[in-house]
Structure 1
Amino acid sequence: MLNALDIEGDSPLHRMPVRGKLVLLFSAAVGLFVVSDLRLLVPALALSAWLLLSTGIGTGQAFRRTRFVLFTVLLVAAANYVFVSPHEAAVVFCRLAALVLLAAAVTATTGISAFMDEIARLLTPLERYGFVRAADVSLAVGLVIRFVPEILSRYRDIAEAHRARGLPVRPLTTLVPLIILTLKDADTIAMAIDARGFRRH
C-alpha cells in the first residue's frame, strides 16, 4: 500500500519477532531516559538513525516520516536551551530523537496486523483479571499506526492548497483544518466500528 507505514525488506529488524521489537523499543525508552551522558546518547542517536536507514526506507522518505515529530523535539530542546542549559538541551534532543527514529524503524519493519495480534496476546493475561480488553486496545493501537500516514497526507494536501492560493504555509493556518478533518475521520471510523460490532461496549 502506498500509505502503509511498513515496507518490505530483509534487514535484521525485519527478521526480528514482533515481541522482540516491542521489548527492544520499551527497553530503549527506559535506557534513554535513565542515561544523561552525551557520550552515550550521541552514539544511541546515531545507532537509531542507522537502524532506520538499514530497513531500506531511504533518507528522503525517512525524513518525511519523522520530520514533524523531530520538529517538535527540536522545539522542546530549544525550550530547554533557553530555560535550563545547553547541555540539557542536547541531552533532551538526543534522547527524544533517538527514540523517535527507533520507533520509526520498528513501524517500518512491522505490519499493522502483526502489531495488533502481538499486543492482544500480551494483554490477554490482564484481560483475564478484568483490567483491559485486549481486542479493544490492539484495535486502538492499530488505528493510530494506520492513520499516521493519512494525517501526513492530509497535511500535504492542505499545504499544497495554501500554495495554490498563494498563501504562506504556517503552522497555525494548517493545524486548524488538519485537526477538523482528523476529528471528522475519527467520528466516521468510530461509527463504522460500532456498526460492525467490533467493540463490546
Structure 2
Amino acid sequence: MLNGLDIEGDSLLHRMPVRGKLIALFVAAIGLFLTAELRLLVPALVLSAALYLSTGIGAGEAFRRVRFVLFTVLLVAGANYLFHSLHEALAVFCRLSTLVLLAAAVTATTGISAFMDEITRLLTPLERFGFVRAADVSLAVGLVIRFVPEIFARYGEIADAHKARGLPVRPLTTLVPLIILTLKDADTIAMAIDARGFRRH
C-alpha cells in the first residue's frame, strides 16, 4: 500500500500537538456553521488555503488531494443555489471548503499512529461507561485515513487503463470499478483484522 497522507515538515501545524489540532478543528467547524456572513466566511476560506499550503505541500499535490471532495462541495453549493439563493450557495461553498482544507492540513501534518493514539486517549473515558470501544474507533479512523491515498491510486490506474484503450474517462465508467476494488480491499482488511483477533480484545 502507499504511504499515508502526512508529509514531513517543520511548520506551525507540524509542531502543534495532535490534541490541539483536533480541538481547533472541532471549534472551527462549530464556528463555521454558526455564521452565514460572507465577510467572515470568505476570509476564513483564504486563511485555510494559506494554512494548508504552509504545510509545505505543493499546490498541485494539495489540489489533487482535495479535488474530489471539493467537487462534491460544489455540487452541494449548486443544489443550494437552485433551491435557495446565491448567498446561501456561496455560504455553503465557503463553509464546507474551509472545513475540507483545514482537515486536509491536519492530516498532512499528523501521522496515522499519532491520530490513532490520540483518539484512543480521548475516547477512553467514554469506554469506561460502555459507550464506545476506543481501540476500535481509532482503528477505524486510521484505516479511513490510510485508505485515502490508496483510493486515489486506484482511480489513477483505472483512468490510465481507460486512456490506454482509447476510452473517455467518465465518472460512471470509473466509479463502478473503483467502488468494487475498494470493497474488495475492505473485505481483505476485515478478514486480516478478524484473523488477528483485534476485535475480540
Scaled by the length of structure 2, the TM-score of the pair is: 0.98
Using the aligned pairs only, state the percent identity: 84
1:35 corresponds to which residue? 35
Residue 178 of structure 1 pairs with residue 189 of structure 2: no
Q: Is the 8 A contact 2:55 2:109 kept in 1?
A: yes
How many angstroms does 1:82 deviate by? 1.5
The aligned runs of 1:1-201 (5 Å cut-off) are 3-200=3-200
Partner Cα separation in structure 2 for residue 2 and residue 198 of structure 1: 23
Cα displacement (A) at 1:79: 1.1
- How far residue 60 of structure 1 moved from its aligned partner, in angstroms, is 0.5
Cα RMSD of the aligned pairs, angstroms, is 1.1
Instruction: Look up the equivalent residue of 2:143 and give its one-letter code.
Output: L
Q: Is the 8 A contact 2:51 2:102 kept in 1?
A: yes
4+ residue runs over 3 A deviation: none
Q: Which amino acid aligns with 1:151?
A: I
Q: Distance in 2 between matches of 1:34 and 1:171?
A: 34
Paired with 2:34 and 2:170, the residues of 1 have a C-alpha distance of: 36
Distance 1:76 1:131 in 2: 33
Aligned partners of 2:8, 2:163: CA distance in 1, in Å? Answer: 34
- What is the rounded CA distance, in whole Å, between the counterparts of 1:24 and 1:157 in structure 2? 36
CA distance in 2, matches of 1:200, 1:47: 44
Question: Could you tell me which amino acid in structure 1 is paired with residue 125 of structure 2?
Answer: P
CA contact 2:41–2:94 (8 Å) conserved in 1? yes
Distance 1:82 1:131 in 2: 41
Shift of residue 81, structure 1, vs aligned partner = 1.2
Query: 1:2, CA displacement in angstroms?
Result: 5.5
- For the residues of structure 1 that align with 2:14 and 2:130, how far apart are their CA atoms? 34
Which string of whole-angstrom CA distances, capped at 9 and with x for unpartnered residues, describes residues 133-191 of structure 1? Answer: 00000000000000000001101111111111111111111111000000000000000
SS at match of 2:200: coil
1:168 match: secondary structure: coil
CA–CA distance in 1 between the matches of 2:200 and 2:150?
Answer: 27
Give the length in aligned residue pairs.
201
TM superposition shift of 1:83 = 1.5
Unaligned runs of 5+ in 1: none
How far apart in 1 are the matches of 2:71 and 2:89?
A: 14
Stretches of structure 2 lacking an aligned partner (at least 5 in a row): none
What per-residue deviation string (whole Å, max 9, x for no partner) do you get for residues 46-76 of structure 1?
Answer: 0110110000001000000000000110111
Alpha-carbon distance between aligned partners in 1 of 2:161 and 2:84, rounded to the nearest angstrom: 39
Report the TM-score, using the length of structure 1 for normalisation: 0.98
> d(CA) in 2 for partners of 1:112 and 1:47?
25
